[in-house]
Structure 1
Amino acid sequence: MKKVFLSFLILVSGAFICQSCNLISSAGFNSKGLPTPDSANTSIAAEEKVDHSGWDQLLKKHVDSDGMVDYRGFQKDRPALDKYLKMLSSMQPDDTWNRDQLLAYYINLYNAYTVDLILRNYPTKSIKDISGAWTKEFVKIGDKEISLGAIENSLLRKMDEPRIHFAINCASISCPKLINEAYTSKNIEKQLEKATIEFINSDKNDISASQLKLSSIFDWYKNDFTENGSLIEYINQYSEVKINSNAQVDYKNYDWNLNEAK
């Protein structure tokens, strides 16, 4: 009987640990029918479907070059943020939007509503202290309500673009940094490439030719990075250090403390 109970405890503990490690990746899978064209849909997109200049101004004002966020400053500019969120929510993406327009919209939507979530629960030490941070459907898109988890998992991750993992920011120290400019369909390719190169070569990863200690992002979303080859092959596209194909791979603990500027 004791062995059975012990086995049960181990099973429950393992499930809890697994759930905790995959908190973001398992949260919210309902796309609410919103469009997600794949990478083949790259029709020329000279026009911007959405004016992201309001968000751009807020980011330049309240986010430093290291991606640390002045949440108190954002609070003082709450009317400007609310105006941008209201404008985003009034949009209803459809099949006439191409890949670049949707990427810019969904990335900015995710990042802006994450800042909004922090402000509505401020002060907080970590986004993980906020109940339902990735599962509550509080993000409005037209007549729909969707969760942050759904934006990530059911929209962005369906677009065959693994670089989105370096563009969306979960308000934590170990996250890829929140850049201090808005993403736009005109510049999205250049912005995603820059975000990926900066993250992979930052102190969020320890890279040498024979050994890697990577951000847990590469563990949680490994399948996204290995559709066309190995994880090392993917990282080698962007790494300043050439990595051996047989290099040892380990993962860092994730720091969920708030990415707040001091």
Structure 2
Amino acid sequence: MKTRTFYLLAPFAFALVFSSCNDSSTETPSDENDNETKTEQKTESNSETETENKDKAIISLDEDGNQVITRVETKEDGTKVERTVPATAEELREIAEEGVLLKDETIPPVEIEIPEEKVVEAEDNYNFHEYKNLNSLLSTYVSSSGNVNYAGIKANKSKLDEILKEFESNYPGSGWSSAQKLTYWINAYNIYTIKLIVDNFPTSSITKITAKPWHKKFIQLGGQTYSLNQIENDVIRKRFNEPRIHFALNCASESCPILLNRAYTPGSVYGQMTTQTKRFLNDTSKNTYGKKEVQISQIFQWYEEDFTKGGKTVFDFINKYRTDQLDKQKITYKEYSWDLND
């Protein structure tokens, strides 16, 4: 995969040296003026040397589409070392303040969005985009295999209500980055699916709650009322053009991609989606691969257009995330189980 890169260099400092013209009407500079001129010239030279020794940073996309920053740092002994870290909001702000972006004209530019500081601050160390409370709930009540302890969440419903209030109070705005918006809507879909189950628990299936649970409008966000279907189709699929979201969203059923037992975060969301996609496609309980025939999830049937854009095939998408490549096997679809994922 070709890496898209911006090169970031610290801004140059220029020292301007002014000297008198050497004509017949100009007096010979005094020793004091001569010394000042030499000092200015030395300052200019030092400034240029200092600029050359400035640490550099490269902003690029890794193979999963995540922004990363590679810093080239100079040690005291003059040796240079590279350090690659996720391109967090703090790192991007720091770099934006340090220098100017120089684009490599041979490749398309990478869109770098620098989020605003904070949307809502309940206390000094509060940052909604870290999803600490959601992360705590998921790590407590969701197993590593994706089974959800709905009874436990219902017994501690005040914690769930607190998280829902955070989503209601923090609605995506123009200052949010694309990753922040995508993360918000994925987490919102999953936590409001949990709410729907908890509000109607015990139940053996989300389909037992109502005939069309995904069309039920019960989600109050940004002064609007959404259904799960609207969040998935009218917001996430329509705005982000990202097929991997189908393996990040959980519909509270056995045949769904498992619910991740931690929150999605802006700095990791693309890598998290890739991990979830690989896990789902290599799970033989979700997809069965034979030499002549493959039985794959109905997700690929329902949302085929998401996986076949740009002349691609469903096999092209699957092969991107599987070690054992598919060729020309016959495709059938596995029956979907709507049994609760508890």
TM-score by length of 2: 0.62
Given candidates 60, 64, 67, the residue that maps to 2:139 is: 60
- What's the counterpart of residue 331 of structure 2? 249
1:88 partnered with 2:167: yes
Match of 1:187 among 268, 292, 296: 268
Q: Which of the two has greater strand per residue? A: 2
CA distance in 2 between partners of 1:160 and 1:66 (Å): 28
Output one character per residue of 1:68-92: Cα deviation in whole Å (capped at 9) or x when no partner: 1111111122111100001101122
The alpha-carbon deviation at position 209 of structure 1 amounts to 4.7
Moved over 4 A (4+): 44-49
Larger Rg: 2
Q: TM-score, normalised by structure 1?
A: 0.80
For residues 156-197 of structure 1, give each alpha carbon's deviation from its aligned partner in whole angstroms, at most 9, with x where no partner exists.
111110000000100000000001000000111110110000
Contact 1:52-1:182 within 8 A present in 2 as well: yes
- Sequence identity, in percent? 40
TM-superposed CA distance for 1:49, in Å, is 5.5
Q: Give the aligned residue type for 2:252.
A: A
C-alpha root-mean-square deviation of aligned residues, in Å? 1.7
2:316 aligned with 1:237, yes or no?
no
Which amino acid letter does the alignment assign opposite residue 218 of structure 2? F
Separation in structure 1 between the aligned mates of residue 309 and residue 215 of structure 2, nearest angstrom: 27
Equivalence for 1:20: none
Q: Which amino acid aligns with 1:135?
A: H
- CA shift for structure 1 position 44: 4.9
Q: Is the 8 A contact 2:179 2:269 kept in 1?
A: yes
- Bigger relative CO (Cα 8 Å, ≥ 6 apart): 1
Contact 2:128 2:170 in 1 (8 A): no
Give 5+ residue unaligned stretches, structure 2. Answer: 1-109, 118-126
1:53 maps to a residue whose letter is K
Q: Distance in 1 between the 2:271 and 2:225 partners? A: 30
Q: Show the counterpart of 1:43.
A: 113
Cα distance in 2 for residues equivalent to 1:191 and 1:45: 20
Distance (whole Å) between structure 1 residues aligned to residue 151 and residue 135 of structure 2? 18
Distance 2:112 2:260 in 1: 24
Q: Is the 8 A contact 1:209 1:242 kept in 2?
A: no
The corresponding residue for 1:97 is: 176
What residue identity is the alignment partner of 1:79?
Answer: S
What residue ranges of structure 1 are gaps of 5+ in the alignment?
1-39
Q: Determine whether 1:157 maps to 2:237.
A: yes
Deviation at 1:257, TM superposition (A): 0.5
